[in-house]
DNA sequence: CTTGACCCTCACGTAACGTAATTATTTATC
DNA sequence: GATAAATAATTACGTTACGTGAGGGTCAAG
C-alpha cells in the first residue's frame, strides 16, 4: 500500500503543507519519490507520522520530536519528565495570570462603580414570571416541571450564590460578544468552551437534557425579553449563541 | 524629564529593540523625535509602556494590547474575562498533556521493564549509614539532629511513599541532566523549578534551612558515593546541581 | 581630536506551517 | 484519444515579537 501526499494527509489528519514541511526539515521523508517527482509514502511512514503527531500534541517542538523518535525508551522517559516539569511551570504561570486578571477585573469594577443593575438586569426576578408563562405556553408540562424544580433549588440560594451565578452569566455573554466582534464562528473552540460553561451554569437551575437545551436556544431567539437582553451585549448574540448551543449539543454525535 | 531609548529601556526592563518595534507598529510612539533622529520619551510614555507591559505579561498579543489600552474600562473587563476563559482552556489542556505524559512514562517503563534497582540505587538503605557517618564527621552535631529527625519521620513511611519519593527524585535528576545536555545554565528558570522541587522533596526528610541546603550542595560534590550516583545521570551533574542549589538559595536576596 | 558609548536604519532569522501562484501530471469522462 | 478536473510539484511571501548583527551617524569626556 502506497500513499500520495493527499491520501496520507487525509488519513492522518494533517495538511499537505505539513507533509511537505516535514519532508523539507527531514522529519518525515517519503518512502521514495516517483519519476514524476511525486512523494510516495508507505505503511512505515504512516506509523512514524503517528508517533510524530503524538509528541507534537504534547507541545514538543519539532526539533525535540526529532530527538524523541530516534532515542531509546530510557531517554524518552527522561525527556518526557523534563517536559512535564515545563508544562507544570506553564500551568503555574496560567494560574497566576488568571488570578491577576480576577484582581484587575475587581479593580476596574470598583474603579468605575459599574452598575450591577445595568449589567445583570436580565436576572430580574419580576421578569422571571413572564419567562415562565412563555415557557409553559410553548413547551407545555415539561416546562412546568422544570419551573418547579428550578424554584425548589433556588429558594435555598443566598445572595452570594445569586451574585456568583450572575457574574458567571455576564462573563459568558461578554466573552461571547467579544468573539463575535473578532469574527469568530459558533463552532470555534473558545466559543464552545464558553457554551460549555453556560451549559453547566444552567444545570444549576434544573436537570438539563439535550432537548431542553435545544429548546433554550430557540427560546433565546424567539422570546422578546431574552432577545432584548442578549442584544444589549451584541446585536448578533441571540442567533450566534443559539447556533453555538446547537453545535455544542450535536458535536458529540 | 526626557528619556532616550536606552534609558527608557533600562528603567522599564525591556530591550531597545522592543522599543523600536513598538514604535514601528505604532504601539508606543516617542513623545517627539530630535533633529538628530533620536527618539525621546516623556513621563507619559513611561506610564503607557507600563500598561503595555502589564497586558503583555498576561499573554495578550500586541494587537490586543493595542485594543486594551485604548478601550474603556467596560470593554477592558469584557476582554479580560474572555482572555481568562482562554487561559483556562489552556490550563485544561496542560492538565491533559501532563496526564498523557504520565501514562506514557508508565507505559514505556512497563514496556522495557526498566530495572528499578538501576534507576534508584542511590536510595539504597545500606549506603545510608555511610552517608550519615560522613555527614556527622563533616558537619558535627547538627547532622546528628537531622539524622534523628529523618529517621523519626521515615520509619512511618510505607513502600508507597518510598516509591513516590524515589520516582520524584529520579524525575528531577533526569530532568536536570536533560537540561545539561541542552546546554542550559544553573540559573535558568526551568532548572530552578526542578531545584525547587528538589528542595521540597528534601524537606520531607527533615526540616530544611538554607544553611543545611548549602551543605547538601557541598556534600553532593565532595562525597564519593553521592558523586558517583549523580554522575550516572550526567558527568557534570554534581557541580551543575550544586551551583543551581546555591543560586536557588541566594536568588531571593 | 579621538574614543567609546550611544543613536539610527536596514535586514535577516526564528517555528511551523497557511496561503496563494504557477506549472506539470494523473485520473476520469466523453 | 481529447479534454477537464483533481492532484502533484516548486516557489515564495505572511505570520509573532522581537534578537542579533551590519554599517554608519551623534554626543560627551578626556
Percent of chain B with pLDDT over 90: 30
Distance from CA of A41 to the nearest CA of B (A): 27
| β-strand partners of A40 | A4, A32
Asked if B178 lies within 8 A of A82 by C-beta distance, the reply is yes
Q: What is the pLDDT of residues B10-34, one digit of tens each?
A: 999 899 999 999 999 999 999 999 9
- Tell me how far apart the alpha carbons of residues B27 and B48 are, in angstroms, rounded to a whole number: 9
Asked if A73 lies within 8 A of B111 by C-beta distance, the reply is yes
Separation in Å: D10 C1' and A22 CA: 15
Q: Which helix (H) or strand (E) holds B33?
A: strand B32-33
Per-residue flag: A6 CB under 7 A of strand C: no
Whether B117 has a pLDDT exceeding 60, the answer reads no
The topology (CATH level 3) of A3-70 is Multidrug-efflux Transporter Regulator; Chain: A; Domain 2 (1.10.1660)
Asked if A177 lies within 8 A of B78 by C-beta distance, the reply is yes
- Tell me how far apart the alpha carbons of residues B93 and A198 are, in angstroms, rounded to a whole number: 19
Residue A157: per-residue pLDDT? 63
Chain A residues in contact with B77 (beta carbon < 8 A): 105, 108-109, 114, 174
Per-residue flag: A96 CB under 7 A of strand C: no
The 10 Å Cβ neighbour count of residue B33 is 12
H-assigned helices in B71-124: 73-112, 116-120
Residue B40: per-residue pLDDT? 94
Helix axes A73-112, B73-112, angle to 10 degrees: 160
Average pLDDT, chain B: 82
**For residue A48, how many C-alpha atoms fall within 13 Å in the half-sphere facing its CB?**
18
CB nearest to A193's CB, from B80, B81, B89: B89
ipTM of the complex: 0.60
Q: Are A227 and A221 in contact (CB under 8 A)?
A: yes
- Tell me how far apart the alpha carbons of residues B170 and B116 are, in angstroms, rounded to a whole number: 10
Residue B48: per-residue pLDDT? 92
- Tell me how far apart the alpha carbons of residues B8 and B41 are, in angstroms, rounded to a whole number: 7
Q: What is the pLDDT of residues B203-243, one digit of tens each?
A: 888 878 787 888 888 888 888 878 888 888 889 999 999 99
Q: Are B214 and B248 in contact (CB under 8 A)?
A: no
- Tell me how far apart the alpha carbons of residues A147 and A47 are, in angstroms, rounded to a whole number: 54
- Tell me how far apart the alpha carbons of residues B31 and B29 are, in angstroms, rounded to a whole number: 6
B51 touches chain A (CB under 8 A): no
Q: Which residues, 6+ apart, have CB-to-CB distance to A198 below 8 Å?
A: A169, A172, A245
Q: For chain A, list the strands marked E by DSSP.
A: 3-4, 32-33, 39-41
Backbone angles phi, psi at B140, to 5 degrees: 65, -150
Q: Are A190 and A95 in contact (CB under 8 A)?
A: no
* Chain B 28..47 CB hits on strand C (< 7 A): 37-39
Backbone angles phi, psi at B252, to 5 degrees: -80, -15
The residue that leads in pLDDT, B115 or B242, is B242
Q: Are A51 and A69 in contact (CB under 8 A)?
A: yes
Q: Between residues 112 and 131 of chain B, which touch chain A (CB distance below 8 Å)?
A: 112, 114
Residue A140: per-residue pLDDT? 60
Task: Tell me how far the alpha carbon of residue A165 is from its chain's centroid.
Answer: 19
Cα distance between the two ends of chain A: 31
Residue B53: per-residue pLDDT? 94
Record the cell numbers describing residue A161, joined without a space: 450564590
CB nearest to B81's CB, from A57, A174, A189: A174
Record the cell numbers describing residue B241, joined without a space: 546541581
Distance from CA of B12 to the nearest CA of A (A): 20
The 10 Å Cβ neighbour count of residue B144 is 13
- Tell me how far apart the alpha carbons of residues B117 and A195 are, in angstroms, rounded to a whole number: 50
**Domain extent listing, chain A:** 3-70, 116-250
Q: What is the pLDDT of residues A35-57, one digit of tens each?
A: 898 999 999 999 999 999 999 99
Task: Tell me how far the alpha carbon of residue A204 is from its chain's centroid.
Answer: 19
Distance from CA of A235 to the nearest CA of B (A): 16
CB nearest to A175's CB, from B57, B81, B97: B81
What is the mean predicted confidence (pLDDT) over A61-75?
88
Residue A132: per-residue pLDDT? 64
Give A121's DSSP letter: G
Residues comprising chain B, all counted: 253
Sign of CA dihedral A70, A75, A81, A86: negative
- Tell me how far apart the alpha carbons of residues A164 and A187 are, in angstroms, rounded to a whole number: 27
Give B115's DSSP letter: -
Q: What is the pLDDT of residues A181-228, one digit of tens each?
A: 888 888 888 899 889 889 888 888 877 877 788 888 888 888 777 888
In the three-class reduction of DSSP (H, G, I as helix; E, B as strand; rest coil), residue A24 is classed as helix
Q: Which residues, 6+ apart, have CB-to-CB distance to B20 below 8 Å?
A: B5
Backbone angles phi, psi at B41, to 5 degrees: -110, 150
Amino acid at each position: 500500500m502506497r500513499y500520495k501526499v493527499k491520501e496520507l494527509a487525509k488519513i492522518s489528519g494533517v495538511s499537505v503543507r505539513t507533509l511537505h514541511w516535514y519532508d523539507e526539515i527531514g522529519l518525515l521523508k517519503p518512502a521514495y519519490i516517483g519519476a514524476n517527482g511525486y512523494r510516495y509514502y508507505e505503511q512505515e511512514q504512516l506509523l512514524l507520522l503517528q508517533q510524530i503527531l503524538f509528541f507534537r500534541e504534547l507541545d514538543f517542538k519539532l526539533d525535540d520530536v526529532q530527538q524523541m523518535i530516534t532515542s531509546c525508551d530510557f531517554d524518552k522517559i527522561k525527556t518526557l519528565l523534563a517536559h512535564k516539569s515545563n508544562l507544570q511551570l506553564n500551568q503555574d504561570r496560567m494560574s497566576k495570570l488568571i488570578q491577576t486578571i480576577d484582581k484587575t477585573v475587581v479593580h476596574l469594577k470598583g474603579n468605575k462603580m459599574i452598575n450591577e443593575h445595568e449589567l445583570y438586569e436580565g436576572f430580574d426576578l419580576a421578569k422571571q414570571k413572564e419567562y415562565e408563562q412563555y415557557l409553559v405556553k410553548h413547551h407545555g408540562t415539561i416546562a412546568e416541571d422544570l419551573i418547579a424544580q428550578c424554584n425548589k433549588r433556588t429558594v435555598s440560594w443566598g445572595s452570594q450564590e445569586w451574585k456568583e451565578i450572575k457574574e458567571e452569566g455576564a462573563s459568558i455573554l461578554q466573552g461571547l460578544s467579544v468573539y463575535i466582534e473578532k469574527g469568530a464562528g459558533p463552532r470555534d473552540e473558545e466559543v464552545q468552551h464558553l457554551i460549555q460553561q453556560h451549559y453547566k451554569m444552567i444545570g444549576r437551575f434544573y436537570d438539563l437534557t439535550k432537548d431542553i437545551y435545544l429548546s433554550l436556544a430557540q427560546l433565546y431567539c424567539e422570546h422578546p425579553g431574552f432577545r432584548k437582553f442578549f442584544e444589549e451585549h451584541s446585536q448578533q448574540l441571540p442567533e450566534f449563541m443559539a447556533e453555538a448551543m446547537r453545535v455544542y449539543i450535536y458535536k458529540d454525535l
